[in-house]
A and B are shown apart, each in its own frame.
Chain A
Amino acid sequence: MSIRSEIITQFNQVAKEQDKRLATLADDLELLDSGLDSLCVAIIVSRLEDVLGIEPFSTAEDTAFPVTVGEFIKFYENAAK
């Protein structure tokens, strides 16, 4: 599975588990407007580390933290390179 599709899978899965209404995901959607709160994002980051083996928030020192869904995906894609 590609990084993008894995991330989208986790967004949907965690939203369902946490009983959150997920907005229609688009690259320019701000994470704040996605319907997920910080605990949801924390769980997604944790699950992605298990699946993808990367946790860019603690390693990517030269890329800005992601604000939108597209940046979030790019953040992981860059870290995987």
Chain B
Amino acid sequence: MPQSDRASLWNAVSARGNLSGRTLSGAGASITLGDLVRGSCLGGRAGELRGRSVLLSIRDQFAAALALIELDGVARRLVLCPSDLPVEHLPLVIDSAGVDAIVSDQTQTGPDVPNVGCSLPCSPELVPARDDRSAEHQTEWILLTSGTTGQPKLVVHTLATLAGAIDSGSTESSQAVWSTFYDIRRYGGLQIFLRAVLTGASMVLSAAEESTTDFLIRAGAHQVTHISGTPSHWRRALMNPSAHRIAPQNVRLSGEIADQTILSHLRSFYPQARIVHAFASTEAGVAFEVTDGLAGFPASVIEANAQVEMKVEDGSLRIRSTRIARRYLGRQAEPLSGADGFVDTGDMLVLRGDRYYFVGRRDGVINVGGLKVHPEEVEAIINRHPLVRMSLVRTRKNPITGALVVADVVLKTAAATGNGDAAKLEQEILQFCRGPLPRHKVPAAIRFVSDLPVATTGKMVRQPCVTSS
């Protein structure tokens, strides 16, 4: 496909000749790609958003997908809010991205959503589109990731950086039926969505309110051929009786470290499938995929990739390519890449033999089943307990959620854990945490220790990765 057809997503879909039988399916609605390019999910009012910075605050992934196709190339900026974005972060996002229009599928935006002047409803029910669909802008796509302070970071992409790894000329891919456990407002899910749309293929979207069982049944009914998720998504899927409902040809893992066990289980559960694990991040883009079915990746990958330059420095993977994000957005945004143009992924590697293996994150953010936890916020709560002197919250590897939160606690007096009272006190501190903290942030276990290591900087020594073993 010539590059001009990628002037916008809508151009790309329209330029596809044969779209018969190609559908985009959500939990509650489905549409053919042919109907999609002729319709509007914005009541035919997309023209009002031309040149604006538009916040997409859309609960339903299906409606969000329609809005992305309708507004790419029309809006100056599209801010993709995942449905679980806490409302208290909205003012920062709106300010940082200079938002001057909001598209929402909620009938009432509520008092928490600031009034930015222009607001349009969005509906999965299409009306005929009559307005001019020409692409006028190279729209900036703003993806949100959790920063180290817990506030979202705004990452700027364009269709070109996002779609850099997608070969839309491949004949195999247009026959595919794509799906993903991810929300398409997250980088991993967005990659799959763009792959489907740019190759003119069908896609089955997941939905936040839908159970894994129902999603698998629906994906099976649509005869999904390519499906992606994190290793934790896949472990949960394999423990679900409906895992047999799908028979994919291609199973993809990304977003977390894929260990040998999950790769081997997927291989035996879906013997017909090609099992691929990929490295990608919101900032660094899609870097490489591993197709040999083994954990880690061959050291030669670092040197051998024509499109993506990679290096390992201070133990972490650095990436430079045309797929990396443009920059961070905001008043105090830091540079996204170093002076040499490489993005530090913060993902730590060790070399064993001729393979590299990921060992964890440098910044210590704990990822509990896709929900990020900053150790410091949990420590702050534990430290409020009257018997606690200090605490260190760390990650513990877990096959179901990827990681769990655990805590090492130093008490003011050691006597409190004597005479078998430790278990009782552990329960008491955990109960103390359950009030202010959401469930995934409450430690799964507490270990009482006599001291915690403090470095010469005066900071507690945080290991980049502490595993259960």
Contacts and interface: CB of A to CB of B under 8 A. Distances in A.
Interface of A: 17-18, 30-32, 38-39, 41-43, 45-47, 49-50, 55, 57-61, 64-67
Max chain B Cβ within 10 angstroms of own Cβ: one of A47, A49, A65: A65
B261 A61 contact: yes
B369 A50 contact: no
A46 B241 contact: no
B251 to A, nearest CB: 14
A42 B398 CA distance: 7
A61 B266 CA distance: 10
A55 to B, nearest CB: 7
Contacts of B264: 61
Interface stretch (B21-29, B175-183, B355-363, B438-446): B438-446
Interface stretch (B7-15, B160-168, B399-407): B399-407
Contacts of B130: none
A17 B241 contact: no
A47 B411 CA distance: 22
Contacts of A58: 259, 261, 397, 399
Nearest to B239: A65
Contacts of B400: 38, 41-42, 45, 57
B239 A42 contact: no
Interface of B: 213, 235-236, 238-241, 259-261, 264-265, 268-269, 368-369, 396-401, 404, 406, 427, 430, 439-440, 444-445, 468
B272 to A, nearest CB: 16
Contacts, number: 72
B213 A32 contact: yes
B286 to A, nearest CB: 27
Contact of B444 (A32, A46, A61): A46
**What DSSP secondary structure best describes chain A's contact surface?**
helix
Nearest to A41: B400
Contacts of A31: 239
B241 A67 contact: yes
Given A39-B439, A46-B444, 17 more contacts: A18-B439, A30-B241, A39-B369, A39-B401, A42-B369, A42-B398, A42-B404, A46-B404, A46-B406, A50-B445, A57-B400, A58-B259, A59-B261, A64-B238, A65-B235, A65-B239, A67-B241
Max chain B Cβ within 10 angstroms of own Cβ: one of A42, A43, A60: A42
Given A38-B236, A57-B400, A58-B259, A43 B444 contact: yes
B358 to A, nearest CB: 15
Contact of A61 (B260, B404, B440): B260
B444 A55 contact: no
Given A39-B401, A55-B399, A49 B468 contact: yes
A75 B430 CA distance: 29
Max chain A Cβ within 10 angstroms of own Cβ: one of B240, B241, B264, B399: B399
A38 B398 CA distance: 11
Contacts of B468: 46, 49, 55
A62 B260 CA distance: 12
Contacts of B236: 38
Given A32-B213, A57-B400, A64 B241 contact: no
Contacts of B239: 31-32, 41, 65-67
A41 B240 CA distance: 13
A46 B404 CA distance: 8
Q: 4 closest pairs, A vs B, by CB?
A: A57-B399, A42-B400, A65-B238, A42-B401
A68 to B, nearest CB: 8
B240 A32 contact: yes
B440 A39 contact: yes
B269 A17 contact: no
A2 B369 CA distance: 30
A50 B468 CA distance: 9
A64 B398 contact: no
A54 to B, nearest CB: 11
Contacts of A18: 439
